[in-house]
Amino acid sequence: MPRIAGVDIPDNKPIRISLRYIYGVGPKFAEDICKEAGIDGHTRANTLAEDDLAKLAQIIDNNFIVEGALRRQLGQNVSRLRDIRCYRGERHRRGLPCHGQRTRTNARTRKGRKKTVAGKKGVKG
């Protein structure tokens, strides 16, 4: 398996698909990287020469923030929001959605499993 940007990419897939295994590289960035390197995106990763892989790695290192640096940057952005105690920071702190989604129903990804609360069975009167 070839290594690019510290990540083992699958060698039996087209290079435009293999590049997506790098955190921070999606479909558009993968196409842009291939175009800049002058490599056909449909070429399998195991058929690329070493200098082509080196060219891809150099383009990624020079032009894109990927892997650990990107994860660190995102974490710092969230911690900054928490520190300045803005609305989004408070939502991150409580583990609730930050972008205006409803929470009366759904939002289970952020809130976690249901917490059953003992409530009233019915109204007696």
| pLDDT at residue 96 tops 90 | yes
- Rounded to the nearest angstrom, the gap between the alpha carbon of residue 111 and the centroid of all alpha carbons in its chain is 20
| CATH number at 3-63 | 1.10.8.50
Q: How many CA atoms lie within 13 A of 23 on its CB side?
A: 11
What is the fold, at CATH topology level, of the domain defined by 68-111? Answer: 30s ribosomal protein s13; domain 2 (4.10.910)
| pLDDT at residue 124 tops 80 | no
pTM: 0.78
Residue ranges, comma separated, of all CATH 1.10.8.50 domains in the chain are: 3-63
Residue range 18-43: mean pLDDT, rounded: 94
The residue behind tokens 């490599």 is 39
| pLDDT at residue 95 tops 90 | yes
